[in-house]
Chains A and B, each alone.
Chain A
Amino acid sequence: MNNTQTTDSVEMVNLTIDGNAVCVPKGTNLIEAAKLIKKEIPHYCYHPDLSVPGNCRMCQVEVEGAPKLLVGCATNASEGMVVRTQATSEKVKNAQESTLEFILINHPLDCTVCDQAGHCKLQDYHYEYNAKPSRFLKEDKEHKVKAEVLGPNVILDGERCIMCTRCIRFCDEITETSELGMLNRGDKSVIAVNPGKELNNDLSGTVVDLCPVGALTHRKWRFNTRIWYTKQTDSICTGCSTGCNVKVAVRDDKIVQVKARYNEKVNKEWMCDEGRYGFDRFLPKSRLQSPVISEEGNQIDDFSKAAKTLKAMKEEKITVFVAPDLMLEEYYVAKLFVEATFKNARVVISYKKRPLNEVQKKLVSPDYAANYKGAIYSGLVGENVESDYDNAIMDIYNGNTDSIMCIGERAIDFGHHVPDLYSKISELKNSIGILSDSESGLVSSLKVVFAGRSVLEKSGLLVNKDLLLQYSERVIDFPNNTDPEWRILNKLSKELGKEIVKATSDRELTLAYLAANSDLSEQTIKSIKREGVSL
């Protein structure tokens, strides 16, 4: 097998790992080099985006010519290097066994009650590389602090900690807030909050993701489920236009854990607390179900009635508000819908800039608009999203709009959800919307309302602020008597005479969209899901 990663400017070096030839750019460490040939050199403390402390000693490998084993994380590949990992070297295998033995002697071995069980590196590696009975038989283990609150979101079990210091380095190097440190020496060492501080930076929950064992847990989610009872989905956070890659665990239709997923181009493995702990904030508090048409106080479940309203709107001066967290395909469907249905319509996307603090700036985007770039890309809205949106709102107040259409729960920014606006909207000639929260004031002010779905209940493509196309998987089962926004638009269009797209599911829609887009026709959902595609 010969895996080659070619780059023009960087000097490449050739080495062999367990007899397999690898060619990597100079400066690549052995853990990364091994990844290229799909080999894992086990490690705890190493993280590709943090400094290399070399303290866990798990990644030791044999390098021909070196008198001792070397740590793969801190050893760079060089020309002609011959590396042997645990697969071919008895010395490495023994070193890994002993390292695991050392880590485990003072570990509480409380997997039965540990949240990390099932997705724990210590368990995984123990099964894979050691799995021997303990030789630590007689004395007590070292006892450490069991439930130390580090901050509003994170709690520490000192006994489970293996002192990899990833959390310390994250706070030192990424957030640059330096809340954490190490106290004491030897096997009394324990992670602690520096005097006068608490772990309350805006990315603080990330340390739990980085923790390879169950030492750090989310205060919000600890002790609520075993991970294997959950359904886990690789999805995208729709909190802002950064588009962090996440893994969401759901049990009984409730989000029980959100974990950042590694994507070098987007979020490394970081995630903000707002996005993480508020991941379910896009779910409607109270579910709107079945299409609702209010006609002089009567609610009728009827697409043909709605079609009548739309026909009436055809010649009017229309503003179409779209939510910033619809899928790219939906924007495309909406574009076709608007073009076919209205003669005099402008489309705006709900977009509000927000101030960020120094820590947020390292990851978070200054908006709440996950897919506004997708709306621009699809040609649905113009580049000046913020001013266009503000003007559109002003025009409702000024009476410069005959009728409006709202697509998506967040089509009108929550900051504008005020009684004044509601009454202005109810005074409009016509209004139609696709919403999902029955408690929203818009439900009673719009004349026709269909029950849509929240962003967590559908799959589709998102475009982040750097124009990276990503695939967001449905996280939560969709409720009955709701439809995704695109399908409602499609059905309405059908009533008006022409179906926009022949698709029965989110997936089919995505495939149809990809096939129709000449730039993306080579792509599949799988290829986009891997690490995104730059547009």
Chain B
Amino acid sequence: MKQQKQILLKNIDKPNQHTVSVYEENGGYKAIRKALQMGADEVKTEVKASGIRGRGGAGFATGIKWGFIADPEKSGKPVYIIQNADESEPGTFKDRLLLENDPHATIEGMLIAAVALKSHYGVVYIRGEYAFPYTRIQNAIKECYEKGYLGDNIFESGYKFDLVVHRGAGAYICGEETALLNSLEGKKGQPRLKPPFFPGVRGLYDMPTLVNNTETYAALPFIINEGAKEYASYGTEKSTGTKLFSASGHINKPGVYEVEMGYPILDFIENECGGIRDGKKLKAVIAGGSSMPILRADELKGVNLDFESLQAAGTYLGSGGFMVMDETTDMVEVALNIAHFYTHESCGQCTPCREGGHWIEKIFYRIARDKGMENDMDLVKSIANNIEGHTICAFGEALAWPAKAFIEKFPEEFRERIEASIKGKPLKKEALNFPILNH
């Protein structure tokens, strides 16, 4: 089993990798030169053959997504290429590492996509709070313009590609691709109704638009350099390549790790994450970022870190925000914390998510503060079911899934709290000190 640092993080720790000269010394900007020679169709075929799936969370096959975008020479419509670097999912910080230490890899990935889709204009949409990564990507773009890697005649090929950076204004929802497009257009960051607004067909300014995650772009140079076959030799049949995981929580070695798809989850905790802190027992893991259902320790056996295996276990790979919780964790507080986040970030556009999110938070709050009521667990599940599948974007699921999962996976903790408060004998657990009532 191949493990660490093969594709995405190969050069991440090398000094000054963020500069164009060091990036090139380490083999950078070879792939784009190759891609320019290969031509659009061959690049597309190669990326499709690699089987790479989007790294932003949904895991949609990148090659197929590219296939939705009409050839601008035939449609007469310009194609926009967008890097979604609005990484805001709690527990996810992999794009940040790439943007800080290897920004040129993501730019090269965008250039490859641009060549494949005949696009001449790209945008890096970066999370507003990412101040340092912003300076790094901005600087990298500046270097590229100076070198002639971006601009009217990239790599002296006669091909034109311009790239700008746009900073978000702090909304989680702008990571949703159509909300991102609205935000870029200067509108309020709210997701668009699908259909008809699939970005590949009607994206930025109603033109065909490709939105891919930072990590997806960063993997493209390898696919072009080494070939789709080599890339697909990593990972499993349906989840090819390697994936970055942002490991955090009660582990000895938090950080961003690159592992091959299909890597056993328990091995990952033991080896890469260095095991649970202070020799405590593992209680639960959220493998794909806070919007994904939680898994209990006893559910982890035989589960691997790839799209299919996690789905079979009842959760999703998501963005790879890998959060580990040990036995000291109060699940009611975790549920409340996560519900609070999604309540705060709900864009307010469609009814179920706008109203239901805060309702769930209020119920978790009263359970956590010993004011729970008898049917609260069923009520949360019912509200979550009423939100799920009834909203404009996937945020409804992001809000409903964890809420339901906490109650389904740890019912005894909720029941204990509720029963104690009904009897008037609060457990007086120490409340976590974060401001929750009025965000």
Contacts and interface: CB of A to CB of B under 8 A. Distances in A.
B117 interface: no
A57 B355 contact: no
A139 B346 contact: no
Interface in A194-243: none
B357 interface: yes
B352 A102 contact: yes
Interface in A45-84: 52-58, 60, 68-69, 71, 74
Given A68-B389, A102-B356, A185 B351 contact: no
A186 B352 contact: no
B345 A162 contact: no
B334 interface: no
Interface string B255-268: 00000000000000
B67 interface: no
B350 A57 contact: yes
B373 A137 contact: yes
A375 interface: no
A182 interface: yes
Interface in B160-175: 171, 173
Interface in B283-326: none
B390 A95 contact: yes
A55 B371 contact: no
B354 A189 contact: yes
Interface in B385-435: 386, 389-392
Contact of B345 (A69, A98, A185): A185
A176 to B, nearest CB: 15
Nearest to B362: A139
B352 A99 contact: yes
Interface string B341-361: 001111111111011111100
Contact of B348 (A68, A94, A95, A187): A187
Nearest to B352: A102
A101 B386 CA distance: 10
A182 B188 contact: yes
B366 A54 contact: no
Contacts of B373: 137-138
B74 to A, nearest CB: 24
A269 to B, nearest CB: 22
Nearest to A54: B193
B279 interface: no
A56 B346 contact: no
Given A98-B386, A185-B171, A56 B345 contact: no
Nearest to B188: A182
Contacts of A139: 362, 366
Contacts of B195: 74
Nearest to A71: B193
Contacts of B350: 54-57
Contact of A185 (B347, B386, B390, B392): B347
B390 A69 contact: yes
Contacts of B196: 74
B390 A98 contact: yes
Contacts of A105: 355, 359
B58 interface: no
B352 A185 contact: no
Pick the most buried of A55, A58, A162: most chain B CB atoms within 10 A of its CB. A55
B379 interface: yes
A414 interface: no
Contacts of A99: 351-352, 390
Interface in A85-142: 94-95, 98-99, 101-103, 105-106, 135-139, 142
A200 B63 CA distance: 51
B359 A136 contact: yes
A102 B386 contact: yes
Interface residues of A, number: 37
Interface residues of B, number: 32
Contacts of B173: 185
A181 B358 CA distance: 22
Contacts of B354: 102, 163, 186-187, 189
B387 to A, nearest CB: 8
A184 interface: yes
A142 B362 CA distance: 11
Contacts of B392: 54-55
A138 B371 contact: yes
Contacts of B193: 52-54, 71, 74
Given A105-B355, A181-B188, A186 B347 contact: yes
A254 interface: no
A142 B355 CA distance: 10
A55 B390 CA distance: 10
Interface in B188-226: 188, 193, 195-196
A57 B351 contact: yes
Nearest to A68: B389
A54 B390 CA distance: 11
A103 to B, nearest CB: 6
Given A68-B389, A139-B366, A55 B355 contact: no
B348 A57 contact: no
Contact of A53 (B345, B349, B359, B362): B349
A58 B390 CA distance: 10
B359 A57 contact: no
A41 to B, nearest CB: 15
Contact of A103 (B171, B349, B351): B351
Contact of B358 (A138, A163, A186): A186
Nearest to A186: B346
Contacts of B357: 186-187
Given A74-B193, A99-B390, A138-B373, A186 B343 contact: yes
A55 B349 contact: yes
A137 B351 CA distance: 19
A163 B352 contact: no
B438 to A, nearest CB: 9
A57 B379 contact: no
A411 to B, nearest CB: 52
Contact of A56 (B344, B347, B351, B379): B351
A52 B349 CA distance: 13
B366 A185 contact: no
Contacts of B188: 181-182
Nearest to B358: A187
A102 B348 contact: no
B348 to A, nearest CB: 3
Nearest to A53: B193
A361 interface: no
Nearest to B366: A138
A95 B390 CA distance: 8
A242 B173 CA distance: 44
B317 to A, nearest CB: 20
Contacts of B390: 57, 60, 68-69, 95, 98-99
Contacts of B343: 186-187
Pick the most buried of B193, B195, B344: most chain A CB atoms within 10 A of its CB. B193
Given A57-B352, A163-B351, A184-B348, 9 more contacts: A52-B193, A99-B390, A102-B355, A102-B356, A138-B362, A185-B345, A185-B348, A186-B344, A186-B346
14 contacts: A53-B349, A55-B350, A74-B193, A105-B359, A106-B355, A135-B379, A136-B359, A138-B366, A138-B371, A162-B351, A185-B173, A187-B348, A187-B358, A188-B348
Interface of A: 52-58, 60, 68-69, 71, 74, 94-95, 98-99, 101-103, 105-106, 135-139, 142, 162-163, 181-182, 184-189
Top 7 closest pairs, chain A to chain B, by CB: A189-B348, A98-B386, A102-B355, A186-B346, A54-B193, A55-B350, A139-B362
